[in-house]
Chain A
Amino acid sequence: MTALSMPLPGAVRALRLELKRNAVPYLLPLLAGVFFFDTLRTAGGYPPVWTLRASVIGNHMLFEFGAFAGGLAAWAGSREGRRKTLDLVVTTSRAAWARLSIALAGTLCWLLLAFLAGVALLYVTTAVQATWGGPPLWPVVVGAAGVTVITVIGFTCGALFPGRFTAPLVAVGTLVLYQAALHAALGIMGSSGTYALLSPASAPPNVDAGIYYRIAPDQSIVQVMFMGGIAVALFGLLGLAPDLRRLASLRGRLAGGESWLLRAVAVVLIGCGAAAAATAFSLAGTARPDAVGGWAVPALRSAASDRPLPVTQDCTSSSGFRVCVHPAFSFYLHDVAAALDPVAAEIAGLPGAPASASEVASTGQAASGISRSRPVFEFTAQNVGNMFGQFLGIPDAGAWRAGFRQGLLEAFLAGPSPDAGPGGAPLGAAQQAVENGLLAAAGSPPGDPDVKQMLNEQPGSGTSAAISAATRRFLALSAGARRAWLATHLTALRAGTITLAQIP
């Protein structure tokens, strides 16, 4: 008998039947539609950065898969009770635990397969667009653990409380649980403390998370341990399902449950799973914010996570002003150069004017500024997020460009900062007028609504009319006159001793 002609073991044949007659495939088109309209479109709105795109696995995909997984698993778990086959199946020799495990495995296989197919699609679309790095695996592991634990919870609920309403109740309960976990995660360090780190759902990470520094797996390990522990404990509980049914049976005790050996294994699994979940819970309680914007669990922390990743930036200096970004963001290098070049040309050669611009890690940095140690305009990758509308809501190229230019000019007019930040304090009225004038002179179209707004009004300022008037006067100067005036008065302007009236 060859290996191919050997009959499949009974459990495998039963699993094949469960896979063939599972309810999951019937709902796959609906799940695929929800996945496309929510997860995939959300990811498509993010910059093509692996970490950011992968964050939708926990924040969107798990939400959708969770509801389906919980409901479908509860449907499968409640089958014997719903279809009233309990009398029939309990007279068979295969252990109830094995029978339930096969049904659970059939549902879980389909759900994990669908989940991994979704992840593959997400990662393939990201791979086509991303310019650096590779697919992060921890979000996939956490997501798979999430799907698994929700499936096991749903199945156990179905097995222990069979009924036609069990599945919809579990599906709704999963949605509520997810929202509660997300709420706790968003308000982390608030009422929930760091225990909210156990939630796989959270706010999207910084746009450069995992770019300049590794993303430490601490949080992921704790989440997998927590969800895996719950799944194992509930799987053990399934082993005691016949005994629990026997206790709850109103029609009288059903004949003998599992053997003592199986019961002992079930109890051990419950204990191990509960211990793992409790350990993860206590580990989450020890988490502290780390230096790179993530969370450190001291017991799991590796020093390698805090070391910056070596990188050679991608640069361009087509117009003489050198602009460098991390290769992960090279897709917007020329947009950055095109945005900064005109402003850089306006201030080129003036004291304190940057000779180049370079992207830096956002960790502990303000959005942009000029370093005191070198004449370089430093900006963070938050600008990428702004460009994609990640924080503004809607991508707006004009607003992004104006904001970026404004950042450079504010850094220039405020002077070098030890923090490479914009100086903290807002610009004075004279500085504001000069900035507006330079922005308008930097080749922005006269009809640019952003510039027009700056010329006509400064919100929150009682001297907005005076600023606009000074801006118009300054803009009316020739480029040479503006440059000469700035060269003479730049120190006083930065010091805040120039008044609006002194602007020519």
Chain B
Amino acid sequence: MNVTLTDVRRSFGKNPAVDGVSMELGTGVFGLLGPNGAGKTSLLRMLATVLPPSSGEMSLLGRDPGASAARRDIRRRLGYLPQNLGYYPSFTVVEFVEYFALLKEMPSAAVPKAVAAAVERVDLGPKAKAKLRTLSGGMLRRVGIAQAIVNDPDLLLLDEPTAGLDPEQRVQFRALMRSLGESATVVVSTHLVEDVGAACSQVALMSAGKIAFRGTPDELTARGQGHSVGDAPLERGYSAVLSAARS
């Protein structure tokens, strides 16, 4: 298992953001759904080793992220796209991705090829030399994805990766996620249930810091049988689970 969480909790002051989450994740694309404030981003930040858990046990890629040496090893094999991508406007696309490849301590000789491949995978080849300040929001999102996948990570964490992408790009990105999920654990936090349906093999729905549902997209769809809220079957499942969790 690449990710093992046991009763993981995280609080900010007196507010619990993640409240006793336990799960195990192997390779594949794992969708994390939930309303605003459900704790998705906090959970993802913990998986990305940005935040330590307040309590509980975590194992990432078979290592304990609490230990400095292990954390460093995990981070070498980690890809992370935060919800709000910060970037350096004066860098070009290639430079930005190369910068993160170097920060991830990739072998220097492998960096140029890996950078070129990552930029191509997000379809930014023609914009490779463009400065980030000149790119649209959707393109910047793709740059963020490129830096996340440049080291061919074993654990890829994507927070709202398709936000700002046009429909064509979104379709391409789903294909990319499926491809990455063949050899790595990909955790995708999103509001867009159609992304989950199209790309994820597993899905979890969070509500108030807890996992309210865990299963396949089809199982989530099945939960929506007879539920009227939602346009698509998966949305109805999502809505039904949330309603049940809140009640």
Contacts and interface: CB of A to CB of B under 8 A. Distances in A.
B72 interface: yes
Interface residues of B, number: 41
B21 interface: no
B108 A91 contact: no
Interface string B82-96: 101111111100010
B78 A251 contact: no
A95 B68 CA distance: 10
A351 to B, nearest CB: 80
Interface string A237-270: 0000000000000011111101110000000000
B111 interface: yes
Contacts of A94: 102-105
B75 A10 contact: no
B68 A14 contact: no
Contacts of A99: 103
- Which of A84, A253, A255 has the largest number of chain B CB atoms within 10 A? A255
Contacts of A90: 49-50
Nearest to A8: B108
A372 interface: no
A459 interface: no
A255 B88 contact: no
Nearest to B11: A252
B80 A91 contact: yes
A93 B86 CA distance: 18
A251 B84 CA distance: 15
Contacts of A21: 88, 90-91, 95
A92 B75 contact: yes
Q: Dominant SS at the A interface?
A: loop
Contact of A14 (B65, B86, B103): B103
A92 B12 contact: no
Contact of A13 (B50, B51, B104, B108): B108
B45 to A, nearest CB: 7
Nearest to B103: A92
Given A14-B102, A79-B88, A94-B102, A7 B72 contact: no
B84 A259 contact: no
Contact of A91 (B49, B86, B89, B105): B49
Given A14-B103, A91-B75, A85 B88 contact: yes
B51 A259 contact: no
Interface in A5-26: 7-11, 13-14, 17, 20-21, 23
Interface in B62-83: 65-66, 68-69, 71-73, 75-76, 78, 80, 82
B52 interface: yes
Given A85-B87, A87-B86, A93-B72, A9 B108 contact: yes
A164 B132 CA distance: 19
A86 interface: yes
A492 B48 CA distance: 100
Contacts of A254: 50-51
A91 B48 contact: yes
A88 interface: yes
A17 B95 contact: yes
A80 B76 CA distance: 20
A267 to B, nearest CB: 16
Contacts of B89: 83
B75 A251 contact: no
Nearest to A254: B50
Contacts of B95: 17, 20-21
Contacts of A13: 98, 102, 108, 111
Contacts of B106: 10
Contacts of A85: 86-88
Nearest to A1: B109
Nearest to A82: B86
Contacts of A91: 48-50, 75, 78, 80
B105 A93 contact: yes
A95 B45 CA distance: 18
Contacts of B72: 93, 95, 259
Contacts of B86: 80, 83-88
Contacts of A141: none
A260 B68 contact: yes
B51 A253 contact: yes
A140 B65 CA distance: 48
A53 to B, nearest CB: 37
Nearest to A20: B95
Contact of A252 (B51, B66, B104): B51
Contacts of B100: 88, 92
B52 A253 contact: yes
Contacts of A89: 103
A259 B70 CA distance: 11
A98 to B, nearest CB: 9
B95 to A, nearest CB: 6
A83 B87 contact: yes
A259 B68 contact: yes
Contacts of A7: 108-109, 111
B59 to A, nearest CB: 15
Given A21-B90, A79-B88, A84-B86, A255 B102 contact: no
Contacts of B65: 255-256
Contacts of B90: 21, 23
- Which of B66, B69, B86, B90 has the largest number of chain A CB atoms within 10 A? B86
B172 to A, nearest CB: 23
A255 B10 CA distance: 12
Pairs of residues from A and B, 8 with the lowest C-beta to C-beta distance, nearest first = A84-B86, A85-B86, A92-B103, A93-B75, A259-B68, A7-B109, A7-B108, A93-B76
11 contacts: A10-B108, A10-B111, A84-B84, A87-B48, A88-B147, A89-B103, A92-B105, A93-B72, A93-B103, A252-B10, A252-B51
Interface of A: 7-11, 13-14, 17, 20-21, 23, 79-80, 83-95, 99, 251-256, 258-260
Interface of B: 10, 12, 45, 48-52, 65-66, 68-69, 71-73, 75-76, 78, 80, 82, 84-91, 95, 98-100, 102-106, 108-109, 111, 147
Given A11-B102, A20-B95, A84-B84, 19 more contacts: A8-B108, A10-B106, A13-B111, A14-B102, A17-B102, A83-B89, A85-B86, A85-B87, A88-B86, A91-B50, A91-B80, A92-B100, A93-B75, A252-B51, A254-B50, A255-B51, A255-B52, A255-B65, A256-B66
